[in-house]
Chains A and B, each alone.
Chain A
Amino acid sequence: MGDIIFLLVLLGLTFLTGTFIEKRHFENIKKREIALIKRPIINFGAKTWHTNRKIKKVELVTGEVVISGDYFKNFVASLKNIFGGRLTTFESILDRGRREALLRMREKARGANFIINARIESVMLNETYNAQESVPQCAIIAYGTAITYE
């Protein structure tokens, strides 16, 4: 009996803290995205890129995020293992991670005019061993080439 009470308390607590933290994170992301809305422009497609203007600086910019769900989110997701369906609790995690990574990359390239050949990659960090026991963790890396005109 003690087990289930402990579990319920833990779930309730992590639900509250998780919701609070996620809400704050989203607000933070929105604020930063709006601040960065003009610059630098990101280009995801072109392999080759031409310009007639003189270039001052070319550099690699990266943004990395390692993100994990909270206890409640993981619990709901593992319940979904039985019933199937969209893992909505992980969707928000992934969205947060991706936007945060892109933001970090763009913040690194502050002052640049363009980021060309930007790419996003993701890696599961805990897949190799004992994946059942540990928390699902996801690393998201955004990288590109920042170009600054003279």
Chain B
Amino acid sequence: MNKNLEERYLNVINNNVNVGNSNAGVEFVILIAGLVAILFLLYIFADAIGCFVIDRMSNETRMKIENAFSFGMKPRVNERNNDIILLESIKNKIIPLDKNLQGKSKFPIYEIPEKGINAFITPDGRIFFTEGLLNQVKDEEMLTFVLAHELGHYAHRDHLKSMSRQIIVALISSIFSTGNNDIDMTIGSISDLNGLTYSRKQEREADKYANRIVYILYGNNKGAVDFFKLLEKKEKSPEFFQYFSTHPSTKQRLKLIQKRR
């Protein structure tokens, strides 16, 4: 009897039923995957709503929102008039090609004093070229590609779309936020990665758009290919870095452009 009891005690000690058998690491992976899946669905939902509303928005409403959201960047007075005049003339060639660009912003072009090769467009349609870009790129076809890329962002309403999805997801995720800093940070990081993926998609669309414009104007896409080859020479970061960046890697963009005829 006593012997039996001792055996039972030993059994209780060795086979603990109070602790779950599941591995915490596996559990963690499953939970994170679940969180990613939920956020993914949320973003699809937000994209659908955003695109539906923004594509049907009237031009007046759209311009009102865009003007409200534009940052008040003070452009430098243009010294290199020649470059700007060239860009203006290219712009005047591009705008008649697309109905989405007509009758909206005047797309004033400015230069900003910055060394890197970059260009961007604000939500209200002001286009900025960096000093570095204007210094290194003199070819008209290449400049056309860059300008058409920026106008493509405007034509696709990319600013509004990325803003709307961020707002919708922030709204919903604040509801099921647990008040725990770590979880909020995780959700934020997943959203950031998702936002970057979306941004890369927009860049690819704008590249395709610009490629089309270059084809219509010149009959070939030499300007686009040349521009990316120039960028490739300047670029030093490795290929996988694109997953943490707003733009796809130059190699991929070059491939995308070369494929399309």
B partners with A: yes
B19-35 interface bits toward A, Cβ cutoff 8 Å, 1 = contact, 0 = none? 11010110110011011
A76's closest neighbor in chain B, by CB? B28
Cβ-Cβ contact count across A and B, 8 Å cutoff:
84
CB within 8 Å for A34 and B22 given contacts A7-B186, A76-B31? no
Check if A4 sits within 8 Å of B189, measured CB to CB.
yes
Check if B185 sits within 8 Å of A132, measured CB to CB.
no
Taking CB atoms, residues of chain B closer than 8 Å to A89 are: 24, 27
Check if A95 sits within 8 Å of B185, measured CB to CB.
no
Taking CB atoms, residues of chain B closer than 8 Å to A33 are: 13
The residues in A between 12 and 38 inclusive whose CB is less than 8 angstroms from any CB of B are 15, 18-19, 30, 33-34, 37-38
Check if A82 sits within 8 Å of B35, measured CB to CB.
yes
Compute how far the CA of A15 lies from the CA of B32 in the bound complex, rounded to whole angstroms: 15
A94's closest neighbor in chain B, by CB? B18
Check if B24 sits within 8 Å of A78, measured CB to CB.
no
Taking CB atoms, residues of chain A closer than 8 Å to B19 are: 88, 91-92, 95
A57 at the interface (CB under 8 A from B): no
CB within 8 Å for A34 and B182 given contacts A79-B35, A83-B34, A89-B27? no
Q: Whole-angstrom distance from the CB of B175 to the nearest CB of chain A? A: 11
Taking CB atoms, residues of chain A closer than 8 Å to B181 are: 132-133
Taking CB atoms, residues of chain A closer than 8 Å to B38 are: 82
Sort chain A's interface into a size bin: 20 to 34
Taking CB atoms, residues of chain A closer than 8 Å to B237 are: none
Q: Which of A7, A30, A76, A133 contacts B24 (CB 8 A)?
A: A76
Compute how far the CA of A82 lies from the CA of B193 in the bound complex, rounded to whole angstroms: 21
B171 at the interface (CB under 8 A from A): no
Taking CB atoms, residues of chain B closer than 8 Å to A78 are: 178, 180, 182-183
A92's closest neighbor in chain B, by CB? B19
Query: Chain A interface secondary structure, helix, strand, loop or mixed?
Result: helix
Check if B27 sits within 8 Å of A76, measured CB to CB.
yes
Taking CB atoms, residues of chain B closer than 8 Å to A48 are: none
B30-51 interface bits toward A, Cβ cutoff 8 Å, 1 = contact, 0 = none? 0110110010000000000000
Q: Whole-angstrom distance from the CB of A88 to the nearest CB of chain B? A: 4
Check if B183 sits within 8 Å of A80, measured CB to CB.
no
The residues in B between 152 and 188 inclusive whose CB is less than 8 angstroms from any CB of A are 176, 178-183, 185-186, 188
Check if A88 sits within 8 Å of B179, measured CB to CB.
no
Check if A95 sits within 8 Å of B189, measured CB to CB.
no
B98 at the interface (CB under 8 A from A): no
Taking CB atoms, residues of chain B closer than 8 Å to A81 are: 178, 180, 183
B182's closest neighbor in chain A, by CB? A75
Known: A3-B189, A7-B189, A72-B24. 9 other contacts (CB 8 A): A1-B192, A3-B188, A30-B13, A37-B13, A73-B24, A76-B27, A82-B176, A91-B20, A132-B179
Give the B-binding residues of A (Cβ under 8 A): 1, 3-4, 7, 11, 15, 18-19, 30, 33-34, 37-38, 72-76, 78-83, 86, 88-89, 91-92, 94-95, 132-133
List, sorted by A's number, 5 A–B pairs whose CB atoms are closer than 8 Å: A7-B189, A30-B13, A81-B183, A83-B31, A132-B180
